[in-house]
Amino acid sequence: MKATSRTAEPADGAKKSQRRQQREGEILAAAREVFLDKGFERASVSEIAARVGVVEGLVFRYFPTKRDLLNEVLHALYKPLISDVGEGFSRINGLRGRLRFIIWRHVRVYTETPGLARLVLHEVRTGPEYLGSVLHDLHVQYTDFLRQTLVQAVADGELSADVEFEMVRSMVYGGLEHMMWPVLYGGRSVNVDTLADRFSSALLHGLQLGAVPADGVEARLARIEALLAAAPAAPAAKPRPNKPA
Amino acid sequence: MKATSRTAEPADGAKKSQRRQQREGEILAAAREVFLDKGFERASVSEIAARVGVVEGLVFRYFPTKRDLLNEVLHALYKPLISDVGEGFSRINGLRGRLRFIIWRHVRVYTETPGLARLVLHEVRTGPEYLGSVLHDLHVQYTDFLRQTLVQAVADGELSADVEFEMVRSMVYGGLEHMMWPVLYGGRSVNVDTLADRFSSALLHGLQLGAVPADGVEARLARIEALLAAAPAAPAAKPRPNKPA
Amino acid sequence: MKATSRTAEPADGAKKSQRRQQREGEILAAAREVFLDKGFERASVSEIAARVGVVEGLVFRYFPTKRDLLNEVLHALYKPLISDVGEGFSRINGLRGRLRFIIWRHVRVYTETPGLARLVLHEVRTGPEYLGSVLHDLHVQYTDFLRQTLVQAVADGELSADVEFEMVRSMVYGGLEHMMWPVLYGGRSVNVDTLADRFSSALLHGLQLGAVPADGVEARLARIEALLAAAPAAPAAKPRPNKPA
Amino acid sequence: MKATSRTAEPADGAKKSQRRQQREGEILAAAREVFLDKGFERASVSEIAARVGVVEGLVFRYFPTKRDLLNEVLHALYKPLISDVGEGFSRINGLRGRLRFIIWRHVRVYTETPGLARLVLHEVRTGPEYLGSVLHDLHVQYTDFLRQTLVQAVADGELSADVEFEMVRSMVYGGLEHMMWPVLYGGRSVNVDTLADRFSSALLHGLQLGAVPADGVEARLARIEALLAAAPAAPAAKPRPNKPA
DNA sequence: TATGAATGAGTCTTCATTCAT
DNA sequence: AATGAATGAAGACTCATTCAT
């Protein structure tokens, strides 16, 4: 373990004078505003600097590149988001609850920081350098909770093993993204809870959730048919258990 | 060739001189290439003009603004697409077939003209002026076939009446968009048919296709149970073995 | 063949409107001044533009790059120089005369356009891209007259065949450069004719000019020794042929 | 000489504190590396400071200006070079040997510290303030050994009195500089010894080395002729015709 | 209808140097 | 003696758009 003393300043942050740290924060804050407002390309370093009240060049003393600045901004936005989702993930159990939570939390991103969504969706993931970048890593971390949710649901028998994770992920994040377009670009607003309910419900039904996976059914059928074939007559059959919606 | 009139000369002020129309077409064609290749911001009017072989200024005589030029380009791209989907829609009947076709055709857009997808998804729909614009109208037309498909399926009893169109639309277009990301920006390629199959199948199961999940299975069960009900006596059936996780 | 008419303007120059050509000339002239005055790095495009009285961007419409502009400037300076030396070279015959002329002409470059010398010597030949560039070609053309001079002198028997061209070239151009340093950077002036005389004379003596090349001496020795070995008494030795100079 | 005492410690306010001197050395060393690597303009103070491990501002406490720093660096490079050449000069006697040594040592500068050559030739001597500067003095000291060599050779009768020092100096240093271009900027390499041999030899023949071109040949001739003169029947040998200067 | 020269505000980035602490 | 934050001017290059001809 590398941490020698816990009480002292962390090895990394110790170097940054208070002043520097403050400026860094100011620049980061200004950059966040501008980036979220205008996107990457249309944002200009000069505007960011002006917002902080410093000269343009100083920004480059803190962040060597406009792109680096963007990365830091996104990093700072992603981190609490990830830990937030992670916290909810470990608090909640069960496929239904977790799915609903992930969706609900994601929708909140759109409503609370629509700029972040715009930025990530349309300027960051666009570059050819995105795959393999730090941001990509963060995004993977963010979406990984969905994967874990599915995996565990399969393990718990809540879900059939042949569920295709990639497709579900696309349906969740792509579908939500699409649903949030009017929010992002049309100034529309949504009811987060309602939307999360409807969306997760719709999704679950698509996941063949329930006690009736295809192979189980076939097995039952086979058994029953075999039984029937053997037995001359059958008494009252219980009503077939419908899946709970 | 410099010759101004080929057959008739529409005087001067009439509609569009033949010459003008031709030029317009040339510029549009060049603009399409450049826009699809580089996107909106990184495309430059000078390159478009150079491709046509005219000077920059002339482009602005035909299209008052770079953005206007883009709009025309997209218009010209959308139109055949829409009529193509429309044609398939009227040729095919039934929820399953139509859905599969719409998805399949949409995936083909991504694989055949990825530039169009990039452009529409990340540079056009981004502007605040998008909603209510001509482009938006076109997009609505394009996706309306999905709505019609669902409506008719409901009318035909193929689909429960409480299906939420917006949600399905988002899952289709948003989900596909998300799935195609690696194609657009990662250089990956996909098998169009396989993807269309898997996606539409996954979607259908999520649509609560009546009460009949795996086709025919429930029907078989019902039949069997009816059979059993008719039969005199049946021995104890072991509780169904739950699926192996 | 692409040339349709010969009487019309030359294919290349025809495209440039009179106005454009004039501007190009103005920019080139301003650039020459600034480059010769400050060198490449310390020259700024904005100053060149200001001298012409246009905006900075316009310069880039004429010359895509600062470096391109420099190249054109040097090209324009080199061309008359080369043809001038070429003219003298074909007018003058004989090693001594040609050498003297080449040196004399070169010294005049330093005295008449010292900026050119500075530029070429210290900013152009410096870049790693110089070798193989157009400028390098021009420079090779320029110095090639010296090579031709030596080659022909060897052919004419004026010069021993083992003269090392590269070394002579370095001594001429490098030596002159060094001698002209006080002119370039110290504001000193020189008498072109005197210097050319002294330098070429010094150089000639270093070229083992004359009728007494080493092998001639060896030949004499050999002859004499053979004579001595053979004859007890030696008759009259023919007078050795003196060199023509 | 500025260093007065080494042993004593001049308290605090006196000369330079030990600490200060050490720092100065560190900065100089770092500056040398950077300057030799990148040249003057492209070197940045921040890089130098970073190499030392101090902040930029501190460099300016020791050297008021980037240019001053360069001067000190060159000073430190020249001094050992000069004493090295001086040592060789006093060890070796005779025109031929000394010339060869000076040339050989100079070529080694190009091959061993090409950065120094680039720096001096193309960034230092370029400025208008060069002549009369400290660096110029150093350079004069460096090249003065060549002058002394010639002077003494004249005094010793090895060389005709009308040799022009400036011209020889230019031919040596300018010629070598020119020959070393491919080494400095083309990545070529040379054999130091061979080049020194060839160059000094070529130079000597240009220096009218008395009447004795190829060594020993004339001596052999003289001996033979004397022999012949002693022989029984030998006709009158004309005195050998000296080469016309 | 077309030319094409010209604009002017903009882009990110670099760096020697200063100064309060 | 040293820090390190801040400056300010400059750097090359881009581009949508205008306008006189």
Please tell me which residue, D120 or B237, carries the higher pLDDT value: D120
| Greatest mean pLDDT range, A9-23, B100-114, D109-123, D145-159 | B100-114
pLDDT tens digits along B7-19: 444 444 445 677 8
The residue among D139, D105, D104, D134 whose CA lies nearest residue D121 is: D139
| C94 CA, F21 C1': Å apart | 59
Q: What is the pLDDT of residue C148?
A: 94
Q: What is the pLDDT of residue D100?
A: 93
Residue A138 structure tokens = 């963060």
Is pLDDT of B161 > 70? yes
pLDDT tens digits along B85-98: 999 999 999 888 99
Return the closest nucleotide (C1') to the Cα of D20: F1
Chain A residues with CB inside 8 Å of B211's CB?
242
Q: What is the pLDDT of residue A217?
A: 60
**Where does the pLDDT of residue C218 fall: very low under 50, low under 70, confident under 90, or very high at 90 and above?**
low
Q: Which long-range contacts (CB under 8 A, 24 or more apart) does D221-226 make?
A: D221/C217, D221/C220, D221/C221, D221/C224, D224/C221, D224/C224, D224/C225, D224/C228
Whether residue D40 contacts residue D119, with contact meaning beta carbons closer than 8 Å, is answered with yes
Chain D residues with CB inside 8 Å of C233's CB?
231-234
Q: What is the pLDDT of residue C62?
A: 94
Please name the residue that has the structure tokens 């377009």.
A181
Q: What is the pLDDT of residue D154?
A: 84
Average pLDDT over residues D18-44: 90
Torsion of CA D207, D208, D213, D215, to 10 degrees: -60
Verify if strand F has an atom below 7 Å from the CB of B68.
no
Q: What is the pLDDT of residue B63?
A: 92
Q: What is the pLDDT of residue B201?
A: 81
Question: What does the angle CA C177 – CA C181 – CA C186 come to, to the nearest 5 degrees?
Answer: 160
Strand F nucleotides, any atom under 7 Å from protein beta carbons: they are: 1-20
Euclidean distance between CA atoms A107 and B243, whole angstroms: 34
For residue D167, with 0-12 CB atoms within 10 Å meaning exposed, 13-18 middle and 19 or more buried, which class applies?
Answer: buried
Question: What does the angle CA A16 – CA A18 – CA A22 come to, to the nearest 5 degrees?
Answer: 100
Cα of A13 to nearest chain B Cα, Å: 36
Cα of C22 to nearest chain D Cα, Å: 33
For residue C17, with 0-12 CB atoms within 10 Å meaning exposed, 13-18 middle and 19 or more buried, which class applies?
Answer: exposed
pLDDT tens digits along C21-42: 999 999 999 999 999 888 888 8
Chain A residues with CB inside 8 Å of B228's CB?
224, 228, 234-237
Average pLDDT over residues C124-140: 79
Interchain pair C233, D235: CB under 8 A: no
Helix (H) or strand (E) holding D59: helix D56-62
Euclidean distance between CA atoms D136 and D130, whole angstroms: 6
Whether residue A111 contacts residue A192, with contact meaning beta carbons closer than 8 Å, is answered with yes
Q: Which of C38, C107, C126, C140 to mutate to test the interface with D (most CBs of D within 10 A)?
A: C126
Average pLDDT over residues D142-156: 91
Q: Within 13 Å, how many C-alpha atoms sit on residue D142's CB side?
A: 21
Interchain pair B126, A225: CB under 8 A: no
Q: How many CB pairs under 8 A join C and D?
A: 143
Residue A33 structure tokens = 């505003």
| Greatest mean pLDDT range, A150-159, D104-113, D178-187, D206-215 | D104-113
Q: What is the pLDDT of residue D225?
A: 56
Q: Supply the pTM of this predicted model.
A: 0.74
Q: What is the pLDDT of residue B216?
A: 52
Q: What is the pLDDT of residue D222?
A: 54
Q: Which of A121, A170, A233 is nearest residue B179 as measured by Cβ atoms?
A: A170
Scan residues 4-63 of chain A and list those with Cβ within 7 Å of strand E. Answer: 43-47, 56-57, 59-61
Q: What is the pLDDT of residue D217?
A: 59
Scan residues 39-98 of chain C and list those with Cβ within 7 Å of strand E. Answer: 54-58, 61
Euclidean distance between CA atoms A52 and A58, whole angstroms: 10
Low-confidence stretches of chain A (pLDDT beneath 50): 1-14, 207-215, 232-245
pLDDT tens digits along D43-95: 999 999 999 999 999 999 999 999 999 999 999 999 999 999 999 999 999 88
The CA distances from residue B181 to A118, A129, A236, B190, D201, in Å, are 16, 13, 54, 11, 72
Strand E nucleotides, any atom under 7 Å from protein beta carbons: they are: 1-20
Amino acid at D210: G
In sign, the C-alpha dihedral spanning D78, D80, D83, D85 is negative
Q: Which of A103, A171, A217 to mutate to test the interface with B (most CBs of B within 10 A)?
A: A171
Interchain pair C234, D228: CB under 8 A: yes
| A82 CA, F14 C1': Å apart | 39
Cβ of A20: how many Cβ atoms within 10 Å? 12
Q: What is the secondary structure of A133-152 as a DSSP string?
A: SHHHHHHHHHHHHHHHHHHH
Scan residues 65-84 of chain A and list those with Cβ within 7 Å of strand E. Answer: 65-67
Euclidean distance between CA atoms C152 and A99, whole angstroms: 91
B115 phi and psi angles, rounded to 5 deg: -60, -40
Q: What is the pLDDT of residue A176?
A: 94
pLDDT tens digits along B44-85: 999 999 999 899 999 999 999 898 899 899 999 999 999 999
Q: What is the pLDDT of residue A155?
A: 86
Q: Which of A126, A166, A243 to mutate to test the interface with B (most CBs of B within 10 A)?
A: A126
Residue C242 structure tokens = 């003196």
Of chain B, the percentage scoring pLDDT greater than 70 comes to: 74
Q: Which long-range contacts (CB under 8 A, 24 or more apart) does D186-189 make?
A: D186/C131, D189/D111
Cα of A107 to nearest chain B Cα, Å: 14
Is pLDDT of D181 > 70? yes
**Where does the pLDDT of residue C131 fall: very low under 50, low under 70, confident under 90, or very high at 90 and above?**
confident
**Where does the pLDDT of residue C68 fall: very low under 50, low under 70, confident under 90, or very high at 90 and above?**
very high
Q: Whole-angstrom distance between the N-terminal and C-terminal Cα of chain D? A: 47
Distance, C-alpha C59 to centroid of its chain: 31
Whether residue A65 contacts residue A109, with contact meaning beta carbons closer than 8 Å, is answered with no
> DSSP code of D9?
-
**Where does the pLDDT of residue B244 fall: very low under 50, low under 70, confident under 90, or very high at 90 and above?**
very low
Interchain pair C171, D169: CB under 8 A: no
Q: What is the pLDDT of residue C224?
A: 58
Whether residue A50 contacts residue A31, with contact meaning beta carbons closer than 8 Å, is answered with no
**Would you tell me the crossing angle of helices D18-42 and D66-91 to the nearest 10 degrees?**
100
| D210 CA, F20 C1': Å apart | 78
Residue C244 structure tokens = 């023509």
Is pLDDT of C79 > 80? yes
Q: What is the pLDDT of residue D242?
A: 44
| D28 CA, F2 C1': Å apart | 18
Residue A216 structure tokens = 């189980």
Whether residue C160 contacts residue C213, with contact meaning beta carbons closer than 8 Å, is answered with yes
**Chains with at least 3 CB pairs less than 8 angstroms from chain D:** C
Q: Which of B40, B171, B242 to mutate to test the interface with A (most CBs of A within 10 A)?
A: B171
The residue among D55, D3, D57, D53 whose CA lies nearest residue D29 is: D53
Interchain pair D164, C202: CB under 8 A: yes
Q: Which of D178, D206, D234 is nearest residue C174 as measured by Cβ atoms?
A: D178
The residue among C20, C19, C40, C45 whose CA lies nearest residue C30 is: C45
For residue B26, with 0-12 CB atoms within 10 Å meaning exposed, 13-18 middle and 19 or more buried, which class applies?
Answer: middle
Average pLDDT over residues C116-128: 75
Whether residue C58 contacts residue C45, with contact meaning beta carbons closer than 8 Å, is answered with no
Return the closest nucleotide (C1') to the Cα of C64: F13
Verify if strand F has an atom below 7 Å from the CB of D61.
yes
**Where does the pLDDT of residue C217 fall: very low under 50, low under 70, confident under 90, or very high at 90 and above?**
low
Helix (H) or strand (E) holding B179: helix B175-186
Average pLDDT over residues C49-56: 93
Average pLDDT over residues C105-122: 85
Q: What is the pLDDT of residue D226?
A: 54
Cα of C142 to nearest chain D Cα, Å: 15
pLDDT tens digits along C149-177: 998 888 887 887 777 888 889 999 999 99
Cα of B176 to nearest chain A Cα, Å: 7
For residue C71, with 0-12 CB atoms within 10 Å meaning exposed, 13-18 middle and 19 or more buried, which class applies?
Answer: middle
**Chains with at least 3 CB pairs less than 8 angstroms from chain C:** D
Return the closest nucleotide (C1') to the Cα of D46: E15
Q: What is the pLDDT of residue D216?
A: 52
Whether residue D179 contacts residue D195, with contact meaning beta carbons closer than 8 Å, is answered with yes
**Where does the pLDDT of residue D176 fall: very low under 50, low under 70, confident under 90, or very high at 90 and above?**
very high
Touch between chain D and chain C (3+ CB pairs, < 8 Å)?
yes
The residue among A212, A218, A199 whose CA lies nearest residue A244 is: A212
Cα of B172 to nearest chain A Cα, Å: 7
Q: Which residues contact A72 (CB under 8 A, 6 or more apart)?
A: A28, A31, A63
Residue B35's region, left for phi above 0, alpha for psi from -120 to 50, else beta, is alpha
Verify if strand F has an atom below 7 Å from the CB of C43.
yes
Interchain pair A182, B131: CB under 8 A: yes
Euclidean distance between CA atoms C176 and C103, whole angstroms: 8
| A56 CA, E10 C1': Å apart | 14
Chain D residues with CB inside 8 Å of C208's CB?
205, 213
Cα of B23 to nearest chain A Cα, Å: 32
The three-class DSSP label of residue B79 is helix
Chain B residues with CB inside 8 Å of A161's CB?
243, 245
Cβ of A88: how many Cβ atoms within 10 Å? 16
Amino acid at D224: I
